[in-house]
Amino acid sequence: MEFPQQQKPVGDGKIVYPPGVKEITDKISNDEVVKRLKMVVKTYMDMDQDSEEEKQQYLGLALHLASEFFLRNPNKDVRLLVACCLADIFRIYAPEAPYTSHDKLKDIFLFITRQLKGLEDTKSPQFNRYFYLLENLAWVKSYNICFELEDCNEIFIQLFKTLFSVINNSHNQKVQMHMMDLMSSIIMEGDGVTQELLDTILINLIPAHKNLNKQAYDLAKTLLKRTVQTIETCIANFFNQVLVMGKSSVSDLSEHVFDLIQELFAIDPMLLTSVMPQLEFKLKSNDGEERLAVVRLLAKLFGAKDSELASQNRPLWQCFLGRFNDIHVPVRLECVKFASHCLMNHPDLARDLTEYLKVRSHDPEEAIRHDVIVTIINAGKKDLNLVNDQLLGFVRERTLDKRWRVRKEAMMGLAQLYKKYCLHHEAGKESALKISWIKDKLLHIYYQNSIDDKLLVEKIFAQYMVPHSLDTEEKMKCLYYLYACLDTNAVKALNEMWKCQNMLRGLVKELLDLHKLPVSEANNTAMFGKLMSIAKNLPDAGKAQDFMKKFNQVLGEDEKLRVQLEVLISPTCSCKQAEICVREITRKLTFPKQPTNPFLEMVKFLLERIAPVHIDSEAISALVKLLNKSIEGTADDDEEGVTPDTAIRSGLELLKVLSFTHPTAFHSAETYESLLQCLKMEDDKVAEAAIQIFRNTGQKIETELQQIRSTLIPILHQKAKRGTPHQAKQAVHCIYTIFNNKEVQLAQIFEPLSRSLNADVPEQLITPLVSLGHISMLAPDQFASPMKSIVANFIVKDLLMNDRSVGNKNGKLWTTDEEVSPEVLAKVQAIKLLVRWLLGMKNNQSKSANSTLRLLSAMLVSEGDLTEQKKISKSDMSRLRLAAGGAIMKLAQEPCYHEIITPEQFQLCGLVINDECYQVRQIFAQKLHVALVKLLLPLEYLAVFALCAKDPVKERRAHARQCLLKNISVRREYIKQNPLAQEKLVSLLPEYVVPYMIHLLAHDPDFTKPHEYDQLKDIKECLWFMLEVLMTKNENNSHAFLRKMVENIKQAKDAQCPDDAKANEKLYIVCDVALFVIANKSTACHLESPKEPILPSKFFLVQDKDFKNDKEYLSAEMRQILLTGKPKTAPVLGNVNKPLTVPGRRIITKTPVVSDTTSNASTNSSPLSVTVNKNSSSATESSESQAQENNENPVIKMEEVKKEDPSQNAAPDAGTEAPPVKRRGRPPKSAVPAGGAEKQGAAAPAGGGAGRGRKRAADPNTNSSADSKMSKQQNDEGTKRQIDLQR
């Protein structure tokens, strides 16, 4: 608009004042000026725009009020009144102001703006006038006049700064509204907002300013919301210059752009419509720190509670997700942290995040993997529905991470979720069901080798799964139903946990007992051994040893501390007493001046492991009451998700386990009365568990609980005579353990059973045979003689040497226990009876052991068909072979019988590990391993594992290797921990297995052509299978010791057949292959041997010094072939589809076997037992638990082999012709024609794995078309079955 010409006042230029107002000049006092101005203000206030006459009359006064006298007056009251007059003048004369000079207008508006500062003090007596001034300016929009001024921006900036600075929390809504109207009109009606003016608004959004003046922030926020359409372009221009063009000098706020974007987005996302694409550009910056800043910003924008940015701007969202894979670690870390807020505030984005979190859960950076877990767990703790099964699966996977910090976070996170949703049921049954797997998974971790993992599982169990802080009844109810819901492996882990804690309590008790003895060197040595054993059960073994020595020293000096510790580990210690003891011991060891006390922390670890925080007499009573309720049908079983039968059975199993670790807690009439009720139940497992509990805990029944005794005896007699085999065994042991007149009691069972034996009714034989066997083992002096006639006349002559029934000729090599014929089950028990009878006698004066061993050998030679009448089925023969092999192995555990087992019998026993039936190999290997790892079997039996190199099933070979590793480590550890073991090195040192292995391989029935490559290659594989494990480390120059041992064997003769030149040659050839393998795998083997090896005289005859065998039995050509593999001379086309030859690597052609289906065998798993994959969920867990990136170890599941899948050894289809197989353990029969042998081999079903005793599943030269046909059939069948394999 154009400013009008200066209006001239009426008259002769005199200023007209309102009536009653005298002239206002600088000659009068300030008070008088104020007084007169107030009247002027009143006049202008009463005027309106239509008063044309008055407007003209007072024009001179209006111009006079804009003079320097008033605008620069030092009196603030004068300035305020003048400002009010000027505001009214602009109102009255609008739209044309009476002032034409641009400079004058600028001075006026700056003057008015300065007066607005008076709004700050709401308690000022003049505040109403200041409010009037603001109201007038806002209503009239007076400042819009300034748009025509060239430097109007200066005025607006000053106005905005003034208003933002004066606003405070004492202002009412009207003040804020007028300020808002005043500023918004300037923004919305102007041509644009300059950067300086924008800065005055935006600066109030910066966190520092925001915190200083919250009202200014709210005013700016409201202003931006109101003017969004106008100001958005200006904001976009600002961010474009800073973000894209990099012009940080355009504004002082450039360094705060990301803070501003966050605030603006929170105010109204529309303010940033044009800015978001610029952020996508910044996300791809080459500067890692810049990407990090943008990621931090976008994380807040996307994660904000009501943000719809992800759905509105999908390209930016996808670009942001890409930063999860950024090369810069802090960027990835920031993305992962963002995911937590995003999951909580935007569950709909969980699917997008899942895939990226999956990748980050395998991130090479420990901190990122850790934060992935924290992210998922935090979201899950807020609401379980926020995290899907996949996300929980990532946490589950990280429980096996290679880093302890990550594993710990994952385990603790899962434990917290379990306690919140499963224990406290905070989100209902559906949520509890969703994470019901957590309890099993956490307990499975107890199988890990790390002591830290084990301790954490124990802590989680005590604090989250069964919180020890609960009262006894609640605590036991929690335990009772938890135990009923656990899977088999979790139950075993929990049992193992209690067993370990009990074992540690035992060690501490033994240590305290040593403190009671006089000081001596022997006592100190024993004490040191106990301390080392205790330290092995604590974290950080090195420090633990030092701290345990210190703790032992404190124990020796402080008798009160010893007393407290004795109370803590006492069988009668209650849970409440335990808490008091732990508190007292901790208090005694606390040193107030130390901020951290690692010694005290270590002692706390020990106390936590040995303190009975769950189980005492009161707890057992509570468990028994719960069991009674389940039996009566008044319990909450169904409500807890278990059937009454399951609750009863698992409850008894729980009590049975606790009866081993806390036997004294059971001693009460009430408990035993309940157990008697269980004995009368129809469920065989329940009754069996109840008998075992009596056996473990009933030592005082005889003297203190006569009524229980009189009721129990007839029940035990009945179970021993007519119960199940397991019940009979437990009943006999129970009688033997808890009654003083055991001889009378056992005789009352023995005599009627021995008279009633009848081989024609095998169904009724099994329980009597079990009872008789255990009675003869427990009381040999009383029953050894009567048993001899039973063994000779009935067991051997009538039962074992006769086949009364004809077996099922379905061709299967294995069937379930239910399908085995009663006669064969009776024969298996008869073999066990023979062994128990001999183990009871523990002497061979009557030569019964020799006869028994010959019988068992004959059983193996005849492949299970002792009578050779061909009546018995193949699956039954497998059972008998397994029983015979196991029997020899059991007898070998008794020194007096081990001495009389001949090398031939040892070889027959060992060859069972190469049996044609997969289950026989599997179960035999497991029994062998368990006996060896407990140091029950002589060292020579470790050599049997070398034969596993021939097993066609990869998982069986892997299992055998793990068994070797475990056994060797156990033996080495035993030698270290027991100084006296140095005297028995020949029977303990793992290296001494080599002579037995060489002798066993030299007498391998398949080793018939010692100069043929294929057979030598088999020998080499078997040797390396053992030597690879032995030669992992060259401790004490062991490689040279091995070489020297093999060289010494070459200078001896085979004691089994010393005069047989061919047998000795085979022995020497095996020695040469062994030397060849050792020399090729070790550069240190030619050094001096640390000691002279001793050869077992039972297997080798040491020759005179004159005897010298320096012959090389392997030609140079054969050595080369063994090293590189046999070259194939085939036509060019013949090489199609053939395996490639790799130097130094053997080619194994193994026929696909039904047993060799998909498995989860891991080379890092424990060989202690075999896993049975029962369902798809366990298979899923198996695949998840394989060693992945950053995994330390796969989870180890242990399952005893109880029942085998009948389909594992299914007969082949009629159209499938099995390849010829070689039998092991049986001398070749010259009378049998070749065709007959082939037929016999063809009968071996493919389902059983390799042919019994053969080195290959099939001859490599078998017709290829037949091979492929068979492979397809076998693989198809193999996918339909589950295998019991070691993980």
H-helix or E-strand containing 412? helix 404-417
CB 1065 within 8 Å of CB 1008: no
Q: How far apart are CA 471 and CA 74, in angstroms?
A: 81
Q: How far apart are CA 1147 and CA 341, in angstroms?
A: 55
Cα distances from 148 to residues 95, 97, 151, in angstroms, run 13, 12, 9
- DSSP string covering 801-862, please? T---SPPP-S--S---GGGS-HHHHHHHHHHHHHHHHHHHH---TTSHHHHHHHHHHHHHHT
pLDDT, tens digit (0-9, with 9 covering 90-100), for 1077-1113: 888 887 777 777 777 888 988 999 888 777 888 888 8
* Three-state secondary structure of 694-737: HHHHHHHHHHHCHHHHHHHHHHHHHHHHHCCHHHHHHHHHHHHH
pLDDT, tens digit (0-9, with 9 covering 90-100), for 458-517: 999 999 999 998 999 999 999 999 999 999 999 999 999 999 999 999 999 999 999 988
According to the model, what pLDDT value does residue 1127 have?
60
Residue 1044 DSSP SS3: helix
Most confident of 3-7, 39-43, 523-527, 1001-1005: 1001-1005
Q: Say whether pLDDT at 1003 is over 90.
A: yes
H-helix or E-strand containing 452? helix 451-460
Q: How far apart are CA 274 and CA 381, in angstroms?
A: 38
- DSSP string covering 1064-1131, please? HHHHHHHHHHHHHHHHHH-SSTTS--SS-----TTTEEEPPTT-------S-HHHHHHHHH-------
191 phi-psi bin (left φ>0, alpha ψ -120 to 50, beta other): alpha
pLDDT, tens digit (0-9, with 9 covering 90-100), for 193-244: 888 888 888 888 888 888 888 888 889 888 988 888 888 888 888 888 887 7
List for the chain the helix, strand, coil content (%; round to 5).
Answer: 65, 0, 30
According to the model, what pLDDT value does residue 1275 have?
41
CB 446 within 8 Å of CB 489: no
According to the model, what pLDDT value does residue 924 have?
95
Residue type at 92 in one-letter notation: I
Tell which residue, 203, 114, 98, 185, has the closest CA to residue 144.
185
pLDDT, tens digit (0-9, with 9 covering 90-100), for 1110-1151: 888 888 888 888 887 766 554 443 333 333 333 333 333 333
Average pLDDT for 876-889:
94
Average pLDDT for 980-1005:
87
According to the model, what pLDDT value does residue 126 have?
84
Helices assigned H by DSSP within 1187-1247: 1234-1242
Task: Supply 374's token pair.
Answer: 């924290």
According to the model, what pLDDT value does residue 1132 have?
43
First to last CA, the chain: 90
1037 phi-psi bin (left φ>0, alpha ψ -120 to 50, beta other): left
At residue 937's C-alpha, the angle toward residues 935 and 938, to 5°, is 100
pTM of the model: 0.73
According to the model, what pLDDT value does residue 593 have?
62
Q: What is the dihedral of CA 1021, 1027, 1032, 1033, to 10 degrees?
A: -160
Specify burial of residue 994 (Cβ count, 10 A radius: 0-12, 13-18, 19+): buried
Weakest-pLDDT range from 894-908, 994-1008, 1226-1240: 1226-1240
According to the model, what pLDDT value does residue 1128 have?
55
Residue type at 593 in one-letter notation: K
According to the model, what pLDDT value does residue 1272 have?
38
CB 689 within 8 Å of CB 654: no
Q: How far apart are CA 923 and CA 920, in angstroms?
A: 5
What 8-state DSSP symbol labels residue 1172? E
Weakest-pLDDT range from 32-41, 773-782, 1220-1229: 1220-1229
Q: How confident is the model at residue 313 (pLDDT cuts 50, 70, 90)?
A: confident
Q: How far apart are CA 796 and CA 827, in angstroms?
A: 9
At residue 549's C-alpha, the angle toward residues 547 and 553, to 5°, is 115
Residue 60 DSSP SS3: helix
Mean pLDDT over each residue of the chain, to the nearest integer: 80
Q: Say whether pLDDT at 713 is over 50.
A: yes
Q: Say whether pLDDT at 398 is over 90.
A: yes
Q: How confident is the model at residue 1239 (pLDDT cuts 50, 70, 90)?
A: very low
The total of other beta-carbon atoms located within 10 Å of residue 279's CB is 22
pLDDT, tens digit (0-9, with 9 covering 90-100), for 718-766: 999 988 999 999 999 999 998 888 888 899 988 998 888 888 888 888 8
Residue type at 1118 in one-letter notation: M
Weakest-pLDDT range from 300-309, 317-326, 894-903, 1165-1174: 1165-1174
Q: Say whether pLDDT at 716 is over 80.
A: yes
According to the model, what pLDDT value does residue 1229 have?
34
CB 231 within 8 Å of CB 195: no
Task: Supply 166's token pair.
Answer: 């004066």
What 8-state DSSP symbol labels residue 1141? P
Q: Say whether pLDDT at 1278 is over 70.
A: no
pLDDT, tens digit (0-9, with 9 covering 90-100), for 551-577: 999 888 888 888 999 999 998 898 999
What 8-state DSSP symbol labels residue 1254? -
Q: Say whether pLDDT at 1256 is over 60.
A: no
Phi, psi of 1172 (to 5 degrees): -110, 115
Weakest-pLDDT range from 273-277, 483-487, 547-551, 1196-1200: 1196-1200
Most confident of 5-19, 52-66, 1117-1131, 1173-1187: 52-66
Give the list of residues 6+ apart from residue 1285 with CB closer than 8 angstroms, or none. 955, 959, 1159, 1160, 1161, 1170, 1171, 1173
Specify burial of residue 1087 (Cβ count, 10 A radius: 0-12, 13-18, 19+): middle
Weakest-pLDDT range from 56-70, 281-295, 1011-1025: 56-70
Q: How far does Cα 412 stand from its chain's mean position?
A: 11
Higher-pLDDT residue of 190 and 460 is 460
Q: Say whether pLDDT at 109 is over 90.
A: no
According to the model, what pLDDT value does residue 415 have?
95
Q: Say whether pLDDT at 192 is over 50.
A: yes
The residues with which 795 forms a beta bridge, in sequence order, are none
According to the model, what pLDDT value does residue 1126 have?
65
Q: Say whether pLDDT at 970 is over 80.
A: yes
According to the model, what pLDDT value does residue 1221 have?
39
